[in-house]
């Protein structure tokens, strides 16, 4: 079986492209993140349309052509060593049919992002490249821990992450190893049935989401069920489920790990025997610790959950 390719570690002074593949951003929202890149010893290179705005039913960071141009520049410019998405939102699906990887394959580079960027990460994995599912440059309304960013820089320098999590009563014990796929549940769901969907066979699946009504969450989980995803995977990791349901009816509305959302997921997967971890600190949450999409993951779930790449 062919192993996925890990991009090279970054050396001091390496250039990191900052681009907006989906939703629009304002310069003040990225100031802290861009300064952080400089303070860590790297050079941020801003995409041409990083701060462009284009309104067409949603406020995008430029037209499709403008965002495609920035993405293909960042992917294929030999001077760029990593690509960091400014934010998610919506728009990455509009790009993937037009992405080019000819020079990228000669010089693979880390792609960093989450949320809507799950689409780009699925595309890269289809082509055999590992990416970082981690915090974007834009700091969200609920903030971002310093460690969330520090762990991303550790990966860029060649240090792979490992985590030890306290037990969750919904966890299912087991000891497995496999390739990690997934990201934002809404985008995993949106890609099902397309040639850009993840391959779930013998994989460990990670899911997280934000702002979905409970019936919409159940619909997405049911679609994975009906598509046979849960029959294919060998393990499941559930991250943040933030601002789920109706604020008036859901007492856990503001929590990062929504209790009722977890209960719904647990009920849907109860007949399957694969190991499951609830409460992994990744997603639309303050403590958003990076995962490697396409990386080989070892997962040992007992009293604690030990996860390492």
User: What residues are labeled active site?
Assistant: 115, 208, 284
Q: Residue 19 contacts by C-beta under 8 Å, 6 or more apart in sequence?
A: 47, 49, 50, 67, 70, 71, 74, 83, 84, 85, 86
Cβ pair 204, 179 in contact under 8 A: yes
Q: How many CA atoms lie within 13 A of 248 on its CB side?
A: 0
Chain position carrying tokens 């809507």? 116
CA angle 190, 18, 103 (to 5 degrees): 80
Query: What are the tokens at 162?
Result: 């490992």
Chain position carrying tokens 């943040």? 240
Residue 68, classed as helix, strand or coil, is: helix
Task: List the one residue out of 274, 277, 264 whose CA is nearest residue 219.
Answer: 264
Cβ pair 162, 155 in contact under 8 A: no
């Amino acid at each position: 079986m062919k192993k996925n390719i890990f991009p090279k570690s970054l050396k001091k002074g390496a250039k990191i492209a900052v681009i907006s593949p989906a939703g629009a951003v304002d310069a003040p929202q990225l100031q802290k993140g861009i300064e952080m890149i400089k303070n860590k010893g790297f050079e941020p290179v801003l995409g041409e349309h990083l701060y462009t705005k284009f309104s067409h039913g949603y406020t995008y960071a430029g037209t499709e052509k403008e965002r495609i141009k920035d993405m293909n520049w960042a992917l294929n410019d030999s001077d760029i060593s990593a690509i960091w998405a400014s934010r998610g939102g919506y728009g990455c699906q509009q790009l993937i049919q037009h992405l080019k990887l000819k020079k990228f394959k000669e010089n693979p580079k880390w792609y960093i992002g989450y949320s809507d960027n799950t689409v780009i990460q699925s595309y890269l994995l289809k082509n055999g490249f590992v990416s970082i599912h981690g915090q974007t440059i834009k700091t969200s309304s609920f903030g971002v821990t310093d460690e969330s960013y520090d762990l991303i820089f550790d990966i860029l320098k060649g240090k792979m992450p490992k985590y030890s999590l306290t037990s969750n009563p919904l966890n299912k014990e087991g000891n497995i190893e496999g390739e990690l796929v997934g990201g934002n549940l809404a985008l995993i769901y949106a890609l099902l049935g397309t040639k850009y969907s993840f391959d779930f066979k013998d994989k460990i699946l990670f899911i997280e989401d934000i702002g979905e009504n409970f019936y919409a969450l159940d619909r997405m989980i049911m679609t994975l069920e009906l598509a046979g995803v849960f029959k294919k995977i060998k393990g499941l990791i559930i991250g943040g489920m933030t601002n789920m349901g109706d604020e008036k009816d859901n007492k856990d509305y503001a929590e990062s790990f929504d209790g009722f959302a977890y209960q719904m997921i647990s009920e849907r997967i109860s007949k399957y025997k694969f190991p499951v971890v609830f409460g992994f600190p990744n997603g639309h949450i303050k403590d958003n610790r990076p995962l490697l999409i396409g990386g080989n993951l070892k997962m040992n779930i007992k009293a604690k959950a030990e996860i390492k790449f």
